[in-house]
Amino acid sequence: ANAQELADRLAKEIPDRAMLHRILATTEAEELEVIRAAAERTLLEHCGDTVRLRGLIEFSNRCVSDCYYCGIRRSNRAVDRYTLELDEIVETAKWCGQKGYGSVVLQSGERRDAKFTKLVTEAIKAIKQETRTAELPDGVGMTLCLGEQSPETYAEWYEAGAHRYLLRMESSSPALFAALHPAEQSHAARVACLKSLKELGYQVGTGVMIGLPGQTLDDLVNDVLFFRDLGVDMIGMGPYIPHEQALLPGNPAFPDTETRMQLALKMIAATRLLLRDVNIAATTALQALQEDGREQGLRFGANVIMPQVTPPRVRRMYTLYDGKPCLDDNAEQCATCLEGRIHSVGRRVLRNQWGDSAHYFKRQ
């Protein structure tokens, strides 16, 4: 009876705070299926059934930040540091274009020196030039995931041709944000970066980690409402996964893996039901916790997947959390495997298109 009432309400109302809380709190199988089905219906109605691919190029693990939870934090001396050459970054993006991926993500540790800024600017320009085809006259779409930068740097990269930027809030709670980061990083500075990105014209994405020690359901409800209030176009979020060399204080085994996985799926569904027309990624962290984690993400309302295309020889050095999957598969194997996974949940791949967020065009 409860599940039926929930289904009726989700069919006719956009969730309010109390409903978001109810969605995140339930662990009952019947209600979970109602939530999943409602989120999937909303996705199909507002975004269609295509999954958009973004080849993920993790081109450097050098980082000036010391986020307590992250395996490549600057104080972790156990990692070998690398930065790919411009040519290899461009070649990898070209491979993505030829595979029909339509978009790439340039991700790296955080750096703000002039040499880094220039490498990124040159990479963006070269990728735009060299991935042009009849189907993609402007080359592949490009998302940057390069952390906090000055408005001038964001502007330089936008001028160079990048058009999306993903900067996770990690948590919209100022208290939790402060517990996760050294004092040199601030909640306010991150929000200011997101606003600056929006003003410059980027399609803007953010996201949080789910199941952090000390995080409450109310914190997560606030995260989803924060996404709405900021008016973001894209969401990338996933479960928190402890890393041996970057352990947060508290019990690393709590909440347990299954709870965190379920919470992450419920967060995807809640975000889909509230925001409707944004792009939401089924992130790799979901697959680190469960073999079919990303497919589950798609079933709960996600519509973006970021196939791993980082050259295998450096992939192991870009370990943000323990248990990162696909470490030994080459990009070709990842492409084949992924397509099967997408079809297995009744969806199809959007080929040779940028696959932008529908939300972005409505707010223009």
Binds ligand 5AD by CB under 6 A, chosen from 106, 220, 270, 285 = 285
Given 240, 300, 318, 354, the residue binding ligand 5AD (CB under 6 A): 240
Using alpha carbons, list the distances in angstroms from residue 12 to 203, 267, 271: 29, 20, 16
Residue 99 or 168: which CB sits closer to ligand 5AD?
168
Asked whether position 168 contacts ligand 5AD by CB under 6 A, the answer is yes
User: Site size for ligand 5AD, by CB under 6 A?
Assistant: 12
Residue 243 touching ligand 5AD (CB under 6 A): yes
Q: Which two tokens stand for residue 325?
A: 């999957």
Answer yes or no: are the C-beta atoms of 7 and 242 closer than 8 Å: no
- Determine the interface stretch with ligand 5AD among 23-31, 123-131, 238-246, 249-257 (rule: CB under 6 A): 238-246
**Cβ-based nearer residue to ligand 5AD, 69 or 154:** 69
Rounded to whole angstroms, the Cα distance separating 283 from 100 reads 20
- Which among 91-99, 177-185, 234-242, 264-272 is the span making contact with ligand 5AD, rule CB under 6 A? 234-242
Determine, following the binding rule CB under 6 A, whether residue 224 of this chain makes contact with ligand 5AD. Answer: no
- Please give the Cα distance from 252 to 173 (Å, whole number): 20
* 146: contact with ligand 5AD by CB under 6 A: no
Contact flag: residue 241 with ligand 5AD (CB under 6 A):
yes
Among residues 297, 17, 306, the alpha carbon closest in space to that of 141 is found at 306
Which of the 8 DSSP states describes residue 353? S
Residue 320 engages ligand 5AD in binding (rule: CB under 6 A): yes
Distance (Å, whole) CA 252 – CA 100: 40
- Asked if 105 is part of the footprint of ligand 5AD (rule: CB under 6 A), the reply reads no
DSSP 208: B
> What track of x and - describes contact with ligand 5AD for positions 18 through 57 (by CB under 6 A)?
----------------------------------------
Binding mask 62-101 for ligand 5AD (x = CB under 6 A): -------xx-------------------------------
> Rounded to the nearest whole angstrom, what is the least distance from the CB of residue 285 to ligand 5AD in the complex?
5
Which three-class secondary structure string do you get for 231-285? Answer: CCCEEEEEECCCECCECCCCCCCCCCHHHHHHHHHHHHHHHHHHHCCCEEEECHH
The stretches of the chain forming alpha helices (DSSP H) are: 2-12, 17-25, 29-47, 86-98, 114-130, 151-160, 174-180, 187-200, 217-230, 257-275, 284-289, 293-299, 312-315, 331-344, 358-363
Give residues in contact with ligand 5AD (CB under 6 A): 69-70, 168, 170, 209, 238, 240-241, 243, 285, 320-321
